[in-house]
């Protein structure tokens, strides 16, 4: 079955507007989950959400199935028309450190988790917002020049989420609540260009190191809602002190996987050939950049192993209507991170 409404905009992005029937199916499942849960931030909710996602309208499950198994010729999908009630969600928060329980955005949060669960299992990082699944992405004046979600005055350069970590997500979703500043989300996929044999040989060898990004450091995790045990950062500290060399490209030559973070990645010391290959790869992403200005109700599914993403420079309207996005990560292999989780039901990687 093909989706006749799906419109290729510009590679690598395809658009799927939700049909009224699909919206009704989503709302019905949101009603059920909202009757039982006042927060999406528990493993019990994540499990209920995974099961509910199996009851999503079949066209949506089919779209997710085809996307995650690489049947579609795109590495990002824009789903339009996800319900976002601008009056109910209230003012944009001033900081990511917003309340977890009974938020005014509960229905929007459930809908995002539900739809994204069609791609994989929700999880969080203990060292990033104490494991919060669904992050707030809002401009923070103090962080405006940083490579962080709160940044704005510098381009958020090409990256895969948690590129430094072997258990990084397979997919992330971003839902837009507000973007009146019209900041651009940027995307590039490895499918848009060929990698010559000599460069493939270099880029697919473990000749690069990726350091943990600053969102996983203690000073970016100071919160009014929790006190994070310093021991939680022990593994991150080790990854920072002794990064293990990794390849930038891997897997199938025809449909490769990417492990890239332009700001935190470099060739191993002295390997000028690898650094030149890495610079070439970044140059290719720049040459094939695709941008999208997200609108309220847009949900972007990004294949985190097949596309890099970032954000343009923009001028935030700091205040109650500033840019407000939400992000959640999912994995196709929750079992794989079992050694780094406290128990099988826990969804936080320590
Ligand atoms: Fe990101």
Q: How many angstroms separate the alpha carbon of residue 302 from the centre of ligand 1? A: 10
Distance, in Å, from the CA atom of 319 to the CA atom of 141, rounded to the nearest integer, reads: 11
What's the pLDDT tens digit per position in 159-173?
Answer: 999 999 999 999 999
Distance, in Å, from the CA atom of 5 to the CA atom of 18, rounded to the nearest integer, reads: 9
Place of tokens 């779209």: 63
Q: How many angstroms separate the alpha carbon of residue 181 from the centre of ligand 1? A: 19
Mean pLDDT of 273-296: 97
Helix (H, G, I), strand (E, B) or coil at 83: coil
Give the model's pLDDT for residue 111: 98
Residue 214 confidence class, pLDDT cut points 50, 70, 90: confident
The DSSP output letter for 201 is H
Give the model's pLDDT for residue 4: 41
Q: How many angstroms separate the alpha carbon of residue 78 from the centre of ligand 1? A: 16
Q: Environment class of residue 61 by beta-carbon count within 10 Å: exposed (0-12), middle (13-18) or buried (19+)?
A: middle
Q: How many angstroms separate the alpha carbon of residue 277 from the centre of ligand 1? A: 23
What domains appear along the chain, each with residue ranges and CATH number?
7-92+99-349 (3.60.130.10)
What's the pLDDT tens digit per position in 94-137?
Answer: 888 777 778 999 999 999 999 999 999 999 998 888 788 999 99
More confident residue, 3 or 132: 132
Q: How many angstroms separate the alpha carbon of residue 187 from the centre of ligand 1? A: 10
Residue 2 confidence class, pLDDT cut points 50, 70, 90: very low
Mean pLDDT of 169-198: 96
What average pLDDT does the structure give for the chain? 92
Mean pLDDT of 85-94: 95
Q: How many angstroms separate the alpha carbon of residue 271 from the centre of ligand 1? A: 27
8 Å CB contact between 107 and 175: no
Residue 196 confidence class, pLDDT cut points 50, 70, 90: very high
Q: What share of the chain is helix, strand, coil (3-state, %, to 5)?
A: 30, 20, 45
**For the whole model, what pTM was predicted?**
0.93
Q: How many angstroms separate the alpha carbon of residue 63 from the centre of ligand 1? A: 23
The DSSP output letter for 316 is -
Which residues partner with 186 through β-bridges? 291, 310
Give the model's pLDDT for residue 1: 37
Give the model's pLDDT for residue 217: 77
Give the model's pLDDT for residue 281: 98
Q: How many angstroms separate the alpha carbon of residue 198 from the centre of ligand 1? A: 30
Helix (H, G, I), strand (E, B) or coil at 10: strand
Give the model's pLDDT for residue 12: 59
The first and second tokens of residue 147, run together, are 């490579």
Q: How many angstroms separate the alpha carbon of residue 26 from the centre of ligand 1? A: 26
8 Å CB contact between 76 and 187: yes
Q: Give buried/exposed letters for 92-114 (b at 16+ CB in 10 A, else e).
A: bbbebbbebeebebbbbbbbbbb
Place of tokens 């490209």: 249
Q: How many angstroms separate the alpha carbon of residue 40 from the centre of ligand 1? A: 21
Mean pLDDT of 232-242: 84
Q: How many angstroms separate the alpha carbon of residue 174 from the centre of ligand 1? A: 9
Q: Does the pLDDT value for residue 218 go beyond 80?
A: no
Distance, in Å, from the CA atom of 325 to the CA atom of 101, rounded to the nearest integer, reads: 18
Mean pLDDT of 85-98: 91
Q: How many angstroms separate the alpha carbon of residue 294 from the centre of ligand 1? A: 15
Q: How many angstroms separate the alpha carbon of residue 158 from the centre of ligand 1? A: 8
Give the model's pLDDT for residue 6: 53
Which residues partner with 246 through β-bridges? 208
Mean pLDDT of 135-155: 91
Give the model's pLDDT for residue 215: 80
Which residues partner with 210 through β-bridges? 265
Residue 219 confidence class, pLDDT cut points 50, 70, 90: confident
Residue 348 CB contacts under 8 Å (≥ 6 apart), including other chains: 123, 124, 125, 126, 131, 341, 342
Q: Does the pLDDT value for residue 232 go beyond 80?
A: no
Distance, in Å, from the CA atom of 295 to the CA atom of 317, rounded to the nearest integer, reads: 16
8 Å CB contact between 258 and 248: yes
Give the model's pLDDT for residue 86: 97
Alpha-helix runs per DSSP H in 79-175: 86-89, 106-116
Q: How many angstroms separate the alpha carbon of residue 309 from the centre of ligand 1? A: 6
Give the model's pLDDT for residue 98: 76
Before 12, cis peptide (omega within 30)?
yes
Alpha-helix runs per DSSP H in 259-343: 272-287
Please state whether beta strands 13-17 and 208-210 pair in parallel, antiparallel, or not at all (unpaired): unpaired
Give the model's pLDDT for residue 350: 84
Mean pLDDT of 303-318: 96
Distance, in Å, from the CA atom of 172 to the CA atom of 75, rounded to the nearest integer, reads: 11
Q: How many angstroms separate the alpha carbon of residue 107 from the centre of ligand 1? A: 23
Q: How many angstroms separate the alpha carbon of residue 161 from the centre of ligand 1? A: 5
**CA-wise closest residue to 247 among 264, 216, 269, 268:** 268
To 5 degrees, how large is the angle CA 99–CA 83–CA 1? 130
Give the model's pLDDT for residue 236: 84
Q: How many angstroms separate the alpha carbon of residue 159 from the centre of ligand 1? A: 6
Q: How many angstroms separate the alpha carbon of residue 313 from the centre of ligand 1? A: 14
Q: How many angstroms separate the alpha carbon of residue 160 from the centre of ligand 1? A: 7
8 Å CB contact between 139 and 323: yes
The DSSP output letter for 243 is P
Residue 231 confidence class, pLDDT cut points 50, 70, 90: confident
Q: How many angstroms separate the alpha carbon of residue 186 from the centre of ligand 1? A: 10
8 Å CB contact between 265 and 216: no
8 Å CB contact between 294 and 84: no
Residue 310 confidence class, pLDDT cut points 50, 70, 90: very high
């Amino acid at each position: 079955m093909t989706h006749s409404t799906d419109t290729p905009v510009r590679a690598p992005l395809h658009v799927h507007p939700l049909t009224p029937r699909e919206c009704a199916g989503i709302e019905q499942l949101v009603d059920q989950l909202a009757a039982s849960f006042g927060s999406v931030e528990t493993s019990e909710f994540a499990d209920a959400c995974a099961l509910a996602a199996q009851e999503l309208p079949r066209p949506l499950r089919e779209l997710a199935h085809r996307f995650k198994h690489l049947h579609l010729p795109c590495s990002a999908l824009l789903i339009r028309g996800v319900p976002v009630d601008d009056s109910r969600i209230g003012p944009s928060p001033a900081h990511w450190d917003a309340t977890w329980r009974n938020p005014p955005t509960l229905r929007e949060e459930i809908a995002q988790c539900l739809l994204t669960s069609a791609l994989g299992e929700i999880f969080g990082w203990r060292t990033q917002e104490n494991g919060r699944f669904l992050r707030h992405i809002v401009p923070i004046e103090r962080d405006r020049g940083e490579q962080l979600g709160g940044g704005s005055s510098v381009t958020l350069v090409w990256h895969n989420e948690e590129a430094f970590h072997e258990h990084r997500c397979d997919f992330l979703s971003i839902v837009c609540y507000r973007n009146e500043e019209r900041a651009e989300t940027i995307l590039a996929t490895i499918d848009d260009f060929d990698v010559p044999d000599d460069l493939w040989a270099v880029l697919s060898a473990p000749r690069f190191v990726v350091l943990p990004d600053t969102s996983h450091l203690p000073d970016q995790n100071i919160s009014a809602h929790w006190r994070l045990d310093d021991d939680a950062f022990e593994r991150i500290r080790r990854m920072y002190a002794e990064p293990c060399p990794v390849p930038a490209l891997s897997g199938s030559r025809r449909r490769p996987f990417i492990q890239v973070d332009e700001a935190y990645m470099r060739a191993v010391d002295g390997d000028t050939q690898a650094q030149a290959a890495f610079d070439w790869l970044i140059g290719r992403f720049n040459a094939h950049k695709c941008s999208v200005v997200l609108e309220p109700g847009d949900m972007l599914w990004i294949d985190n192993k097949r596309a890099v993403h970032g954000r343009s420079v923009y001028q935030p309207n700091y205040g109650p209507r500033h840019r407000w996005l939400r992000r959640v990560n999912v994995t196709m292999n929750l079992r794989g991170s079992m050694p780094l989780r406290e128990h099988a039901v826990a969804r936080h990687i320590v």
